[in-house]
């Protein structure tokens, strides 16, 4: 049974979506990136208790690239999380995996090197090291996703709604630009635009982050994904209006074979920048050479 | 951990056999090359297995090494050919493979005697991650470009494994592996060798309310290049095992200049550390063949505005190199051009070569290989036709004119 995992934008959204989502993915300050909100460890503890009480699954993201001077905070946080009842911790940096093994922590891990989870052999590699879950890349096709699900024992999560991460840097690329040209900085949130297409751009304490110009909508595909045995579909509220996001979660909840196409079209009507991402689009890597 | 003083390796890029020989002959201890499969420079000239055999024979005769990049992030269908390819590399006597996807590590370690180095694509920054990879059988880590002096000291003090760091060349604006701008904006897979270098593009910047933030130059991620010349002695003291120069697609001129300069610095400090003095002349030599301004990046700082590169192509440098003439049609006055750097309609260019006086012209028409008129030429090695009134010849070069 494919479950719905949600990335909430704020605490209130967790309350509002509690009955509509099976699992929640939460960020922690200074250890997570690419999430709408980063909570303190105390706030995380409160959220975890709330979700435990409501019998919902909870996943915590520690998906930042970790510098040596951040290892202490990482280890401390991982140990604190071990005292909470959480279902999984997402990791990008292998420091998390190494510490998890070393400290024999009880929660499960989620391999979350977002653009690298593109084949089942590597899912199996991490699975053989004890990693239960994998967050799949969004740069692969629907057929590739199904093929991976079929060929690994790893439990898989696939983002099917929301803006997608495209770029992450330790550098403060917007701040640098604004300083260089003597502009004041009043916000962390920007857009960069090329040929009429706008890309969300964030420059915050952690660095610079860019997101897809379009919102991915994989609602119609969830029928096939459910049949394939995918464990979780992931819906991200980042930069989406709260009410619209609640409607979206409801649509993913109530979709079935009969109404899925209608609901899928409805999502296209709700936003003017929705697409199917790479679900039907293969990327190339060799440019045709001409003589 | 007591560190044994060991002379570091100077590791150079080699896009083809000619570059490999130049790099080794000008002082590299080892070269890294791309094979015909699974490399992250899909659009570079890569080596066949036969050529790799020739390369290892050539290098080994000089007492030097050859590493082969097998550093793409695999998709399902690609792993099927992996084992036979790795077996071929083993038979070709390569000294190590450089790997990004753990599946390659697994297949290599279980089935071959190949030494496995971890690619910078994994963005390894800390001792815990280094320990993890060491336990997986990796013998050398190519550190993330964001690694600082303190990180390097901590890692070399705590983990007994070879550490390789970049010392010279272009930087990714993002953390390696975490950029898929190329996938989204050009449908070319950055993690399978198709990176179209979107971080060099210019964008309009807008605030959260959609108001344009205008400056004399457009917004870009473009960063200055890396030069670690002045830190080499310190990095030798830290115990870095291998100094890596970036740029398998660079010119022979570039490779020869950069390799020979670092060779001198390493040898001078190694042979006489007490009396070593930094030679400013070497810095000038490197600057003169640089694509863009260079700086020491994350080793010492967090990279502020001085580390960005906002001046576009306004320097006389290799980046001004726009393309190579492949053919000229006297009747239509259309020249077939193989692209080397982004250019567009309206650009003022020079065409130069051994048999012509330098021609200055403005690009007024560009036709792509489908016969369609286009405004910009942004893909490496893209073939286009442009109008040039004066006769030009194959292998004449086009550069930006200021």
- Sequence-distant (6+) residues with CB within 8 A of A227 are none
CATH 3.20.20.70 placement within chain B: 9-192+221-307
Check which CATH number belongs to the domain holding A30 and give it: 3.20.20.70
Residue A143 lies in a domain: yes
Quickly state the pLDDT bin for A289 (edges 50, 70, 90).
very low
pLDDT of residue A290: 41
Q: What is the pLDDT of residues B195-227, one digit of tens each?
A: 878 888 889 999 999 999 999 889 999 888 899
Q: What's the mean pLDDT when you consider all of chain A?
A: 95
Q: A185 and A146, same structural domain? A: no
Q: A83 and A18, same structural domain? A: yes
φ, ψ (nearest 5 deg) of residue A188? -100, -10
DSSP A227-240: HHT--EEEEE-TTS
pLDDT of residue B45: 67
For A173, nearest residue in chain B (alpha carbons): B221
Residue A231 lies in a domain: yes
Among residues B254, B183, B255, B226, the alpha carbon closest in space to that of B31 is found at: B255
Residue A281 lies in a domain: no
pLDDT of residue B51: 96
CB contacts of A141 in chain B (<8 Å) are none
Higher pLDDT, residue B183 or A284: B183
CB contacts of A148 in chain B (<8 Å) are 76
pLDDT of residue B185: 87
pLDDT of residue B255: 82
Q: Which helix (H) or strand (E) holds B107?
A: helix B102-111
Q: What is the pLDDT of residues B288-336, one digit of tens each?
A: 667 677 888 888 877 788 788 787 653 445 556 788 888 999 999 999 9
A128 to chain B, closest Cα gap in Å: 11
Dist. CA B278–CA B274, nearest whole Å:
12
For B152, nearest residue in chain A (alpha carbons): A68
- Sequence-distant (6+) residues with CB within 8 A of B37 are B70, B81, B85
Q: A223 and A151, same structural domain? A: yes
Dist. CA B334–CA B385, nearest whole Å:
6
pLDDT of residue B42: 61
Q: A117 and A202, same structural domain? A: no
For B153, nearest residue in chain A (alpha carbons): A68
Q: A82 and A146, same structural domain? A: yes
pLDDT of residue B300: 81
pLDDT of residue A24: 98
The predicted model gives B250-271 an average pLDDT of 87
Interface contact flag, A194 B308, Cβ < 8 Å: no
In this structure, what token pair is assigned to residue A68?
């040596």
Residue A280 lies in a domain: no
Q: A110 and A41, same structural domain? A: yes
- Sequence-distant (6+) residues with CB within 8 A of A182 are none
Q: A120 and A261, same structural domain? A: yes
Residue A287 lies in a domain: no
Length of chain B: 402
pLDDT of residue B356: 58
Interface contact flag, A65 B125, Cβ < 8 Å: yes
Dist. CA A14–CA A59, nearest whole Å:
13
pLDDT of residue B131: 98
Q: A257 and A155, same structural domain? A: yes
**Percent of the residues in chain A that have a pLDDT greater than 70, as a whole number:** 98
Interface contact flag, B304 A93, Cβ < 8 Å: no
Q: What is the pLDDT of residues A63-86, one digit of tens each?
A: 999 999 999 999 999 999 999 999
Q: A116 and A200, same structural domain? A: no
Q: What would the 3-class secondary structure string for B47-110 be?
A: ECHHHHHHHHHHHHHCCCEEEEEECCCCCHHHHHHHHHHHHHHHHCCCCEEEECCHHHHHHHHH
- Sequence-distant (6+) residues with CB within 8 A of B374 are B366, B367, B368, B384
The predicted model gives B70-84 an average pLDDT of 88
- Cα angle at B144 between B143 and B147, to 5 degrees? 90
Interface contact flag, B129 A94, Cβ < 8 Å: yes
Q: Which helix (H) or strand (E) holds B381?
A: none
Domain of A250 in residue numbering reads as 3-162+215-275
CB contacts of B223 in chain A (<8 Å) are 171
CB contacts of A278 in chain B (<8 Å) are 183
A193 to chain B, closest Cα gap in Å: 5
Quickly state the pLDDT bin for B353 (edges 50, 70, 90).
very low
Cα distances from A197 to residues A155, A193, A244, B273, in angstroms, run: 35, 5, 22, 55
Number of structural domains chain A divides into: 2
Q: A207 and A227, same structural domain? A: no
For B151, nearest residue in chain A (alpha carbons): A68
Which of B179, B187, B210 shows the shortest C-beta gap to A284? B187
Which of A66, A119, A210 shows the shortest C-beta gap to B103? A119
pLDDT of residue B189: 82
Q: What would the 3-class secondary structure string for A116-177 be?
A: CCCCHHHHHHHHHCCCCEEECCCCCCHHHHHHHHHHCCCEEEEEEEECCEEEEECCCHHHHH
pLDDT of residue B287: 80
Residue of A167, A195, A213 for testing the chain B interface, max B β-carbons within 10 Å: A167
A32 to chain B, closest Cα gap in Å: 14
CB contacts of B34 in chain A (<8 Å) are none
Dist. CA A274–CA A216, nearest whole Å:
6
**B242 pLDDT above the threshold of 90:** yes
The predicted model gives B5-31 an average pLDDT of 92
**Contact by Cβ (8 Å): B47, B34:** yes
CATH 2.40.30.10 placement within chain B: 318-400
Which of A120, A173, A191 shows the shortest C-beta gap to B76? A120
Residue A286 lies in a domain: no
SS3 A266: helix
B262 to chain A, closest Cα gap in Å: 27
**Contact by Cβ (8 Å): A154, A132:** yes
Dist. CA B300–CA B314, nearest whole Å:
27
pLDDT of residue B296: 81
B231 to chain A, closest Cα gap in Å: 20
**Contact by Cβ (8 Å): B335, B325:** yes
A55 to chain B, closest Cα gap in Å: 34
Residue A284 lies in a domain: no
**A288 pLDDT above the threshold of 80:** no
Q: What's the mean pLDDT when you consider all of chain B?
A: 88
Q: A231 and A206, same structural domain? A: no
B127 to chain A, closest Cα gap in Å: 7
**Contact by Cβ (8 Å): B287, B261:** no
The predicted model gives B98-104 an average pLDDT of 96
Dist. CA A143–CA A287, nearest whole Å:
23
Residue of B76, B215, B376 for testing the chain A interface, max A β-carbons within 10 Å: B76
Interface contact flag, B303 A187, Cβ < 8 Å: no
Residue A290 lies in a domain: no
Assigned CATH for B318-400? 2.40.30.10
- The region, left, alpha or beta by phi > 0 then psi within -120 to 50, assigned to residue A66 is beta
The predicted model gives B161-178 an average pLDDT of 92
Which of B42, B106, B369 shows the shortest C-beta gap to A125? B106
- Sequence-distant (6+) residues with CB within 8 A of A83 are none
**A291 pLDDT above the threshold of 50:** no
Higher pLDDT, residue A241 or B353: A241
CB contacts of B220 in chain A (<8 Å) are 177
Dist. CA B43–CA A185, nearest whole Å:
39
**Contact by Cβ (8 Å): A211, A262:** no
Which of B74, B183, B223 shows the shortest C-beta gap to A119? B74
Interface contact flag, B206 A170, Cβ < 8 Å: no
Residue of B42, B79, B130, B219 for testing the chain A interface, max A β-carbons within 10 Å: B219
Q: A207 and A156, same structural domain? A: no
Q: What is the pLDDT of residues A121-153, one digit of tens each?
A: 999 999 999 999 999 999 999 999 999 999 999
Q: What is the pLDDT of residues A213-261, one digit of tens each?
A: 999 999 999 999 999 999 999 999 999 999 999 999 999 999 999 999 9
**CATH assignment of B9-192+221-307, given 3.30.70.360, 3.90.1580.10, 3.20.20.70, 3.20.20.140?**
3.20.20.70
């Amino acid at each position: 049974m494919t479950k719905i995992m949600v990335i909430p934008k704020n605490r209130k959204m967790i309350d509002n979506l509690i009955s509509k989502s099976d699992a929640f993915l939460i960020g922690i300050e200074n250890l997570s990136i690419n999430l709408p909100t980063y909570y303190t460890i105390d706030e995380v503890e409160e959220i975890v208790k709330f979700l435990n009480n409501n019998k919902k699954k909870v996943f915590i993201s520690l998906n930042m690239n970790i510098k040596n001077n951040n290892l202490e905070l990482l280890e401390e946080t991982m140990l604190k999380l071990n005292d909470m009842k959480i279902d999984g911790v997402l990791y990008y940096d292998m420091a998390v995996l190494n510490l998890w093994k070393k400290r024999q922590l009880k929660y499960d891990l989620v391999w979350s090197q977002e653009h690298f989870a593109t084949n089942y052999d590597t899912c199996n590699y991490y699975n053989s090291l004890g990693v239960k879950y994998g967050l799949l890349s969004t740069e692969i096709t629907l057929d590739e996703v199904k093929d991976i699900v079929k060929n690994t024992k790893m439990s898989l999560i696939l983002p099917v709604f929301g803006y997608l991460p495209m770029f992450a840097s330790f550098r403060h690329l917007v701040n640098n630009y604004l300083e260089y040209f003597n502009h004041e900085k009043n916000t962390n949130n920007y857009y960069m635009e090329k040929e009429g297409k706008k890309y969300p751009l964030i420059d915050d304490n952690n660095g610079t982050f860019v997101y897809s110009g379009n919102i991915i909508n994989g609602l119609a595909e969830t029928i096939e994904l459910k049949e394939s045995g995918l464990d979780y579909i992931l819906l991200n509220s980042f930069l989406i209006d709260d009410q619209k996001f609640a409607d979206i979660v409801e649509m993913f909840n109530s979709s079935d074979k009969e109404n899925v196409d209608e609901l899928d079209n409805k999502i296209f009507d709700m936003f003017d920048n929705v697409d199917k991402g790479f679900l039907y689009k293969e990327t190339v890597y060799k440019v045709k050479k001409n003589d | 951990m007591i560190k044994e003083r060991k002379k570091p390796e100077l590791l150079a890029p080699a896009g083809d056999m000619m570059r490999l020989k130049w790099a080794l002959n000008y002082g590299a201890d080892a070269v890294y090359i791309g094979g015909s499969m699974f490399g992250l420079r899909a659009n570079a000239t890569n080596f066949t297995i036969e050529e790799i055999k020739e390369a290892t024979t050539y290098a080994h005769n000089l007492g030097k090494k050859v590493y082969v990049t097998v550093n793409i992030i695999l998709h399902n269908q690609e792993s099927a050919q992996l084992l036979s390819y790795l077996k071929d590399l083993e038979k070709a006597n390569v000294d190590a493979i450089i790997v990004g996807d753990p599946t390659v590590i697994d297949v290599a370690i279980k089935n071959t005697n190949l030494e496995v180095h971890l690619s910078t694509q994994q963005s390894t920054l800390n001792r815990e991650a280094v320990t993890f990879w060491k336990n997986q059988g990796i013998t050398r880590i190519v550190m993330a470009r964001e690694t600082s002096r303190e990180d390097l000291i901590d890692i070399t003090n705590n983990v007994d494994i070879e550490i390789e760091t970049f010392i010279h060349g272009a930087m990714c604006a993002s953390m390696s592996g975490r950029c898929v701008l190329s996938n989204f904006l050009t449908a070319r897979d950055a993690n399978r060798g198709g990176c179209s270098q979107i971080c060099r593009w210019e964008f309009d910047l807008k605030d959260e309310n959609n108001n344009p933030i205008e400056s004399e130059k457009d917004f870009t991620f473009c960063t200055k290049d890396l030069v670690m010349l002045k830190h080499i002695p310190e990095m030798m003291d830290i115990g870095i095992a291998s100094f890596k120069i970036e740029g398998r697609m660079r010119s022979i001129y570039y490779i020869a200049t950069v390799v020979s300069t670092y060779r001198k610095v390493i040898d001078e400090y190694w042979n006489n550390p007490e009396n070593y003095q930094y030679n400013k002349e070497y810095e000038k030599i490197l600057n003169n063949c640089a694509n863009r301004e260079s700086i020491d990046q994350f080793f010492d700082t967090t990279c502020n505005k001085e580390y960005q590169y906002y001046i576009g192509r306004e320097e006389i440098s290799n980046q001004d190199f726009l393309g190579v003439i492949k053919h000229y049609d006297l009747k239509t006055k259309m020249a077939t051009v193989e692209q080397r750097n982004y250019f567009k309609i309206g650009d003022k260019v020079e065409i130069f070569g051994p048999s012509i006086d330098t021609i200055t012209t403005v690009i007024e028409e560009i036709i792509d290989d489908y016969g369609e008129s286009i405004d910009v030429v942004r893909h490496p090695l893209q073939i286009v036709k442009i109008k040039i009134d004066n006769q030009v010849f194959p292998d004449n070069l086009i550069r930006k004119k200021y």
